Amino acid sequence: MLIRTQRLGKVFGEAEHRLGVLEDVSLSIESGEMLAVMGPSGSGKSTLLNILGCLDSPSSGGYWLAGESVAGLGAERLAALRNRYIGFVFQSFNLLPRLTALQNVELPLLYAGVPAAKRRERAVGLLGDMDLTDRAGHFPRQLSGGQQQRVAIARALANRPALILADEPTGSLESRSGEAILALFRRLNRAGVTLLVVTHDSVVAEHAGRIVRLRDGRVVSDQGGSSAQNGAGIGLADEGPR
Ligand code: ADP
Ligand code: MG
């Protein structure tokens, strides 16, 4: 079991500004799964992803990452877990504009203390895997959206994470580039990377073996996974047949 949450809750703000965003989210993710998290805007998808990615802490409930209890850990320990286990991919790519593609991919390796020659070798290899060898010296602004996202995926993979968390990774791409990103994710998943993809695109979700649906901060259905609990029974009717 790579991830387990138990009755996870998240509340933002205090007193009259108090906003409950996640409630009773109990989720288990096995190593090697590819799952999509879907739900309307504001349903808590990004909040959940940030907590799973150790970028934010839950307000209540439990979270175990690779067996270690995460809820209540301090910022430093969270950062260490993040660097060791997790790679992030965002809708807006989040590449550093003043660094080349190669330098962007090298950056997490630098933070991890990998020596320069090794950093270079690994980053060149990853860009090659992403079919970007001839773009290594380009800056983000010189790349298409799809190319930028492939650089971001190479960067996410740099420290060989067990888990990739992607928040609407195809949301800013035209459909052709989006499909290429999805094909890439499937290939990574076959190679053993666990993938959690937040999306509101049902085409994207169909590529995942498992679909978890959120509504108002709660899991309303969890279908298709090896450990899925099928048939929470709500939240499906208005999505139509697939
Ligand atoms: P989704 O990704 O499903 O669109 P989010 O997780 O981004 O939803 O947001 C869920 C709710 O939490 C929204 O109402 C949003 O305004 C609120 N929210 C998210 N982050 C914060 C924050 N840092 N402070 C206060 N409210 C937040
Ligand atoms: Mg979001």
Q: Which atom of ligand 1 is nearest to the CA of 167?
A: 2
pTM of the model: 0.90
* Phi-psi map region of 96: left, alpha, beta (phi>0 left; psi -120 to 50 alpha): beta
Predicted pLDDT at 53: 96
Predicted pLDDT at 226: 60
Pick from 34, 1, 37, 5: which is nearest to 164 by CA? Answer: 34
Ligand nearest to the CA of 22: 1
On the 0-12 / 13-18 / 19+ scale of CB atoms within 10 A, 241 is exposed
Q: How far is the CA of 43 from the centre of ligand 1 (A)?
A: 8
Residue 11 CA to residue 2 CA, distance in Å, equals: 25
Angle between helices 116-129 and 101-111 (to 10 degrees): 130
Predicted pLDDT at 195: 96
Q: How far is the CA of 47 from the centre of ligand 1 (A)?
A: 6
21 lines ligand 1 (CB under 6 A): yes
Predicted pLDDT at 20: 95
Predicted pLDDT at 23: 97
On the 0-12 / 13-18 / 19+ scale of CB atoms within 10 A, 72 is exposed
Query: Look-up: residue for tokens 């590819």?
Result: 34
- Hey, whose CA ends up nearest to atom 23 of ligand 1? 12
46 lines ligand 1 (CB under 6 A): yes
Q: How far is the CA of 48 from the centre of ligand 2 (A)?
A: 9
Rg (CA), the chain: 18
Predicted pLDDT at 242: 39
Residue 103 CA to residue 206 CA, distance in Å, equals: 34
pLDDT in 10s for each residue of the chain, 242 residues = 899 999 999 999 999 999 999 999 999 999 999 999 999 999 999 999 999 999 999 999 999 999 999 988 888 999 989 988 999 999 999 999 999 999 999 999 998 899 999 999 999 999 999 999 999 999 999 999 999 999 999 999 999 999 999 999 999 999 899 988 999 999 999 999 999 999 988 888 888 989 999 999 999 999 987 633 333 333 333 333 43
Q: Which residue stretches of the chain are H helix?
A: 45-52, 75-85, 101-111, 116-129, 145-157, 175-190, 202-206
